[in-house]
Amino acid sequence: MLTALAGASGTLIGLGRPNTVLAQAPAPSTAALIGNAGHYRFQVGDIAVTVLSDGLIGGPPTVYAGDANEAELEEVLRRAFLPTDHMTLNLNTLLLEVGGRRVLLEAGAGGTMGPNGGRLFDNLAAVGLSADDIDTIVISHTHPDHVGNLRAADGGRAFPRATVMVPRADWAFFVENDPDLSYMPVPEEFRRRFAANIKESVEPVANGIEFYEAGDEVLSGLTTIAAAGHTPGMAAFLVHSGDDQLLLTADLAYHPVVNIDRPWRPGPDRDQDAAASARRRIFDRAAADRTLVLGFHYPFPGLGRILRTDTGYAWVPAGWQF
């Protein structure tokens, strides 16, 4: 989620989506300019699944590792060959093709979190689909980087036919009320835009929105798992077909290097203790069952497994399949 706070200068950039941007034409796609694949296809039993990148967001590492000792955090980032002043996060949405329906898990950030989001539509096109082909969109939690693409540039529905499902508790907290976001370790102006971006993004789909309670099997082959803490209603997802499973960890962790290999807590977790216990419960299950895991923000395509170690966990990326 959180992104685009500049590093050493302290200047704030890309804090959200100014209203004026909504009417402008989209920037030329990086996918077209560079040509690396932003999609990754595999099977979960009988379900065809495709990771579709919506691009990148990012921000200061201290936001994502909220309780880290700063010197220790710098050392960990250096040893992972990562910049120490900026952490890049991916936006790995997942398309399911199941029972003749196309279901998207997470809508992606669009332009709500800086200029490098919003690639989802190019990546749909790259697999021969358009926004019109999506029947259902299931959102893990209503932060802007998960709902931003729901709103088209003209203010209408970006996915004209899609039913959108969100956790009821998040809708109540972020959409029906003016949430107190003082727990977020970011400047007041960032919080204000963050809250406004959520309401703007979901406004076109509010009529007809469907709510779920985390724990529900929302569709055949897709069960939600209660993971509240990061937000009041956040759910993880289990995609299952036969004996095959894929676990999506939503924002239980932002980056494996700081939130799996190290136990540091994401600063934006609203209820830190509930988030930590959800993380332990779901990571323990993933490790015990050796389940394939997809992290929404992990390095593309975001697939791997979680190993239990003597002191915590380790992230083991999955090999690329051709």
Nearest-5° Cα angle at 143, 64 to 92 = 70
- What tokens does 57 get? 């967001």
CA distance linking residue 283 with residue 305, whole number of Å: 9
- C-beta of 231: minimal distance to Zn ion in Å? 10
Residue written as token pair 């394939």: 292
User: What is the size of the binding site for Zn ion (CB under 5 A)?
Assistant: 3
Instruction: Tell me which residue of 309, 299, 93, 308 sits closest to 318, measured CA to CA.
Output: 299
- C-beta of 45: minimal distance to Zn ion in Å? 27
- C-beta of 106: minimal distance to Zn ion in Å? 8
- C-beta of 275: minimal distance to Zn ion in Å? 13
Interface with Zn ion includes 54 (CB under 5 A)?
no
CA distance linking residue 142 with residue 35, whole number of Å: 30
38 vs 144, beta carbon nearer Zn ion: 144
The sheet with strand 210-212 has its strands ordered as 39-44, 47-59, 87-98, 101-105, 136-138, 163-167, 210-212
1 vs 51, beta carbon nearer Zn ion: 1
Map residues 55-94 to x or -, x wherever contact with Zn ion holds by CB under 5 A: ----------------------------------------
241 vs 249, beta carbon nearer Zn ion: 249
Interface with Zn ion includes 269 (CB under 5 A)?
no
Interface with Zn ion includes 1 (CB under 5 A)?
yes
For Zn ion, which stretch binds (CB under 5 A), given 11-19, 122-130, 244-252, 287-295?
Answer: 244-252
Task: Give the one residue of 251, 258, 293, 304 binding Zn ion; rule: CB under 5 A.
Answer: 251
Instruction: Tell me which residue of 84, 85, 82, 162 sits closest to 120, measured CA to CA.
Output: 162
- The dihedral region occupied by 250, where left means phi > 0, alpha psi between -120 and 50, and beta the remainder, is left
CA 274 to chain CA centroid, Å, is 19
> Taking CB under 5 A as the criterion, which residues in 137-156 touch Zn ion?
145
- C-beta of 128: minimal distance to Zn ion in Å? 27
Q: Which residues bind Zn ion (CB under 5 A)?
A: 1, 145, 251
